[in-house]
């Protein structure tokens, strides 16, 4: 009892300190925003690439901004390594190869399918099929004159980065939605069925809702705010995962005679490595979403991202210690991710100490959400629905509380995208279930998907300990 009181007292003291610092934090962010406005200058006019390259200020700035977008894309790519190690660590060793194979497939398929259809349909310009709601896709251009070398793509006439930089940065985001689903359906889904469903999700589903805001669609016109994707990426993936899990069902032995039987992951070191890789990648995920190397903008986003992530990890660690009686590493890891998901929508407008509150609330929410879904027998081995779905919604609403956006608009936007993601995935995976089936046989599930689906073990020379 004394331990509980001490932990609760520390948490309350910490939150009180945050509240006292809020006023100063708001002044700090106002200074940063003013600096951005004062240093922003309209790019000089030019008519040829050579003329632009000769400009002593504009072209070097363009090169730095473009390089930052490319470095950010590389950081987001590293997140796929993080997802692979996190998911494999939190699941059983007999399914390791299957998890890793899915993650290799997702990034490979994600980039190519986004190039074939998704990018153009997500950013249609004036080529809407149904204005503000739906656009048709097409392959990205194959000629350099249509992309990196055209004058219109070499500064603010397009953006402060090339067409190709824009594509590769956005392609890294697109694959993330399917990766979120991968962890939630782990250890019992047919590989071929997952591959088909994930491809449709990334190629068609994700770009539709992305176009609603980032592509200049109806949510953008409403004033919806989602800086780097708390809803457009994370809640989309989380609610797509929920639909797939409901169709798939729980793992064998998870819920027996009304009791919840924990199925422990085989490697907490792997899971921890994965989370820290994801944290590193998030600096590109959020920092790159500034869409320039602006010093004030990028540095502020780095700070709010880090503070929210750390607050989420600390809050989840302390709250799970009180709530579950023991300090739970998996909850602390998911708390870090929950804080990062929570700040993603408002990393550019939420002040640093408000970011701490946002992250801390996300850390508490993820613990409650994981426990809730377990109680209603929704089996999510890695907590993806809670981390990305629940905390993605919270982070989007937090922009309406701390970041100056309209709360009702935020609610409408996150509800619409989450509902679409759920319905779209339920239909797609439902059709796959009816035609091909979604779930492996009981024998394959018991033996492990590594052997059943791939014919190889992730740890061929490992001999498990035998209890005596």
* Cβ(46)–Cβ(55) below 8 Å: yes
Residue 364 belongs to some domain of the structure: yes
pLDDT digits (tens, 9 = 90+) for 378-431: 999 999 999 999 999 999 999 999 999 999 999 999 999 999 999 999 999 999
| CATH number assigned to the domain comprising residue 443 | 1.10.3430.10
Distance separating alpha carbons of residues 37 and 237, to the nearest angstrom: 34
Q: Looking at residue 156, what is its pLDDT?
A: 44
> pLDDT at position 19, please?
46
- What pLDDT is recorded for position 362? 98
Domain membership flag for residue 2: no
Residue 242 in any domain: the answer is yes
Residue at 38 is within a domain: no
| Phi-psi region at 186: left, alpha or beta (left = phi > 0; alpha = psi -120 to 50) | beta
Q: How many domains does the chain have?
A: 1
Are 315 and 335 contacting, i.e. CB atoms less than 8 angstroms apart? Answer: yes
Give domain status of residue 466, yes or no: no
pTM, 2 dp:
0.89
At 47 the pLDDT is 59
Higher pLDDT, 434 or 463: 434
> pLDDT (tens digit, 9 = 90+) per residue, 117-152?
999 999 998 899 999 999 999 998 886 555 544 555
Q: For residue 61, what pLDDT is reported? A: 86
Q: Is residue 196 part of a domain?
A: yes
Is residue 465, in this structure, part of any structural domain at all? no
Range of the domain at 353: 16-33+47-454
Look at residues 347, 348, 295 and name the one whose alpha carbon lies nearest to residue 61: 295
Residue 58's pLDDT is what?
A: 73
Residue 144 has a pLDDT of: 58
Q: Is residue 1 part of a domain?
A: no
């Amino acid at each position: 009892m004394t331990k509980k009181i001490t932990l609760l007292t520390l948490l309350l003291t910490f939150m009180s300190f945050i509240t006292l610092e809020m006023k100063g934090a708001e002044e700090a962010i106002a200074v940063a925003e003013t600096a951005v406005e004062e240093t922003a200058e309209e790019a000089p006019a030019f008519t040829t690439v050579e003329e632009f390259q000769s400009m002593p200020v504009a072209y070097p700035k363009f090169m730095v901004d473009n390089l930052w977008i490319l470095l950010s894309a590389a950081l987001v790519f590293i997140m796929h390594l993080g997802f692979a190690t996190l998911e494999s660590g939190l699941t059983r060793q007999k399914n390791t190869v299957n998890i890793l194979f899915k993650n290799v497939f997702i990034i490979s398929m994600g980039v190519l399918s986004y190039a074939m259809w998704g990018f153009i349909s997500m950013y249609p310009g004036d080529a809407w099929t149904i204005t503000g709601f739906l656009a048709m896709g097409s392959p990205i251009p194959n000629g350099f004159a249509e992309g990196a070398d055209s004058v219109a793509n070499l500064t603010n006439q397009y953006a402060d980065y090339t067409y190709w930089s824009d594509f590769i940065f956005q392609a890294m985001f697109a694959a993330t939605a399917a990766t979120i689903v991968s962890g939630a359906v782990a250890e019992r889904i047919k590989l071929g069925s997952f591959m088909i469903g994930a491809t449709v999700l990334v190629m068609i589903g994700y770009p539709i809702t992305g176009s609603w805001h980032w592509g200049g669609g109806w949510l953008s016109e409403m004033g919806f705010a989602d800086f780097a994707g708390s809803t457009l990426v994370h809640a989309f993936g989380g609610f797509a995962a929920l639909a797939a899990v409901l169709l798939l069902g729980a793992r064998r032995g998870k819920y027996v005679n009304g009791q919840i039987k924990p199925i422990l992951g085989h490697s907490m070191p792997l899971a921890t490595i994965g989370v820290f890789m994801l944290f590193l990648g998030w600096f590109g995920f959020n920092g790159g979403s500034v869409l320039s190397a602006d010093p004030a903008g990028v540095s502020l986003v780095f700070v709010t991202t880090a503070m929210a992530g750390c607050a989420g990890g600390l809050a989840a660690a302390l709250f799970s210690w009180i709530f579950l009686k023991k300090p739970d590493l998996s909850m602390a890891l998911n708390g870090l991710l929950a804080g990062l998901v929570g700040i993603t929508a408002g990393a550019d407008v939420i002040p640093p100490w408000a970011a701490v509150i946002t992250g801390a609330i996300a850390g508490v929410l993820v613990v409650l959400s994981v426990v809730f879904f377990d109680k209603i027998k929704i089996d999510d081995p890695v907590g993806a629905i809670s981390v990305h779905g629940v905390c993605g919604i919270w982070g989007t609403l937090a922009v309406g509380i701390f970041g100056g956006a309209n709360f009702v608009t935020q609610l409408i936007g996150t509800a619409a995208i989450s509902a679409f993601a759920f319905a779209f995935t339920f239909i797609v995976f439902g059709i796959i279930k009816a035609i091909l089936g979604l779930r492996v046989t009981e024998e394959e599930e018991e033996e492990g998907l590594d052997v059943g689906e791939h014919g190889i073990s992730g740890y061929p020379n490992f001999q498990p300990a035998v209890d005596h």
